[in-house]
Amino acid sequence: MKLLHTMLRVGDLERSLKFYTEVLGMRLLRRHDYPEGKFTLAFVGYQDEAEGAVIELTYNWGVDAYELGNAFGHIALAVPDAYRACDEIRARGGKVVREAGPMKHGTTVIAFVEDPDGYKIELIQHR
């Protein structure tokens, strides 16, 4: 078995694509409209889908917001320097919701940013 992708429902596909590509530096890997189903799928990631897991952004036409609920936690990204990543994300218009620093009860340096729909993305500094 292999992990393929994580799907997130988004309220504004163009806004979300801008965040994931311009703020987080991912690439748009593919995008397809499904007129009969009234939805669009866009896949973003740092590598091709054959090489690793990606994020599927699902836009259901005419739905501009979702309740996130309390079961989903976050997506995690490895970064070489969480402090610098926060500065760069903020400079590109991203929202940092937890500044870089050691995690509670540990030494791993983490930070959290939020996408336009409110999904949390954890930045984990790799040593």
Q: Which residue(s) pair with 95 in the sheet?
A: 114
Is 122 catalytic? The answer is: yes
> If you ran DSSP here, which 8-state letter would residue 87 be given?
H
Rounded to an integer, what distance in angstroms lies between the CA atom of residue 101 and that of residue 109? Answer: 5
Instruction: Find the catalytic residue in 49, 88, 114, 122.
Output: 122
Residue 117 is which amino acid? D
Rounded to an integer, what distance in angstroms lies between the CA atom of residue 95 and that of residue 90? Answer: 6
Q: Which residue(s) pair with 91 in the sheet?
A: none
- Kindly list the catalytic residues: 122
